[in-house]
Amino acid sequence: MRTVRVEASSAYDVLIGPGLLGECGARIAKVIAPCTAALVSDSNVAPLYAARVRESLETAGFRVAEFRFPAGERSKNLEVWAETVSFLAENRLGRGDFVAALGGGVTGDLAGFAASAYQRGIRCVQLPTTLLSAVDSSVGGKTAVDLPQGKNLVGSFHQPSLVLCDTDTLATLPDVQLRSGCAEAIKCAVLSSEELFARMETVPIPDMLEDTITACVEYKRGVVARDEFDTGERAFLNLGHTVGHAVEKCGGYALTHGEAVAVGLAVVTRAAAARGICSPRAAERIVALLEKTGLPVTTDIGATELFEAALSDKKRRGDSIRLILPEEIGRCRIETVPAADLIGWMRDGGVR
């Protein structure tokens, strides 16, 4: 098992390894005294793991109240959020109690945001069960739900008290979910490490999950420690996301978040290469690794439609937009460009 310590406004451990859900009660009891746990999970994950988590929590002396919501990005909205906080109130959770978010990115974001607002903030433990939430969303304290106008438009920063990433849960992930997580892991390697990227080129990511998750969390730990509230360096983590979020939204969420990020990463990489910012060799390697991992690197959605969607994204600042652009593997730059220029960037990136 690996442990990564995150030093944000509050400090916490991220544990990565097999068997952690079955021992979550004892692990959580080391940081939270016995109290009530609201176990939040979706209709896919609850049948697989909720009983195991409940039993472990109860054995460790916690009272458990379970809340389930329909699986899918479409549940990440204010209505389901309101149901979640109402559930906390109905079950009389107090300020000493906590929310356990069991599942992928949607669950972590939704449950984390409910914990951050209920009674002005109660504790949250993240129990990621997807690769995507393990390498990215369960760590760093970003919580949110979507609005019809765009993704993650209402939320907060609320650091978890503990993150337990049970790598056994990843063994049963559908391929599409595994690939989705691989996209965020590749993004992380492009941002941070030629060595990690080169390893991914040689060994398929699913064959080295514990190492990959640990490397991504190690990288993110540093970024979050330096820029917890996303006023500078943390923007790098949005590599591929400006176009990716637009692809996700315009496609009616038919692609997973990670697949859409893969398209976004390929588009900005090609555009950066076309404009002489990214070395041709690095661009070739990034697109090739995405393809080799089974991820999409193009979209049929037109640049005009994506542009409209991207403008409602919160990554836009007034009339400008921040693009994260690869220069080499392990080195990216941020460019603030007029929002109107985004269409040209997307066309250079191969969008029709």
Question: Which residue in 99, 163, 178, 237 binds ligand GLY (CB under 6 A)?
Answer: 237
The count of residues interacting with ligand GLY (CB under 6 A) is: 7
- Cβ-based nearer residue to ligand GLY, 36 or 161: 161
Note whether 190 binds ligand GLY by CB under 6 A: no
Closest-CA residue to 134 (of 239, 11, 216): 216
* Burial grade of 3 (CB within 10 A; 0-12, 13-18, 19 or more): exposed
Note whether 234 binds ligand GLY by CB under 6 A: yes
Note whether 187 binds ligand GLY by CB under 6 A: no
* One-letter identity of residue 180: S
Residue whose Cβ sits closest to ligand GLY: 237
Is residue 118 within 8 A of residue 93, CB to CB? The reply is yes
* Residue that is written with structure tokens 């269409």 in the block: 343
Name the minimum Å distance from CB 137 to ligand GLY: 6
Residues 6+ apart with CB under 8 A from 270: 283, 287, 348, 349, 350
- Cβ-based nearer residue to ligand GLY, 68 or 234: 234
Name the minimum Å distance from CB 304 to ligand GLY: 27
Name the minimum Å distance from CB 78 to ligand GLY: 20
- Cβ-based nearer residue to ligand GLY, 240 or 251: 240
Name the minimum Å distance from CB 256 to ligand GLY: 15
Name the minimum Å distance from CB 237 to ligand GLY: 4
Name the minimum Å distance from CB 184 to ligand GLY: 8
Closest-CA residue to 220 (of 14, 16, 10): 14
Name the minimum Å distance from CB 231 to ligand GLY: 11
- Cβ-based nearer residue to ligand GLY, 136 or 248: 136
Produce one character per residue of 226-246: b if its CB has 16 or more CB atoms within 10 Å, e if not: ebbebeeebbbbbbbbbbbbb
CA 95 to chain centre: 27
Cα distances from 247 to residues 20, 117, 145, 259, 279, in angstroms, run 35, 30, 18, 9, 25
- Cβ-based nearer residue to ligand GLY, 142 or 270: 142
- Cβ-based nearer residue to ligand GLY, 53 or 321: 321
Residues 27-86 that bind ligand GLY (CB under 6 A): none
- Cβ-based nearer residue to ligand GLY, 132 or 351: 132
Interface characters, 123-162, with ligand GLY (x: CB under 6 A): -------------xx--x-x--------------------
Name the minimum Å distance from CB 218 to ligand GLY: 14
Note whether 166 binds ligand GLY by CB under 6 A: no
d(CA 66, CA 18): 24
Which part of the chain contacts ligand GLY (CB under 6 A), choosing from 78-86, 115-123, 230-238, 280-288? 230-238
- Cβ-based nearer residue to ligand GLY, 25 or 140: 140
- Cβ-based nearer residue to ligand GLY, 109 or 166: 109
Name the minimum Å distance from CB 59 to ligand GLY: 33
Name the minimum Å distance from CB 223 to ligand GLY: 7
In the complex, the residues that contact ligand GLY under the rule CB under 6 A are: 136-137, 140, 142, 230, 234, 237
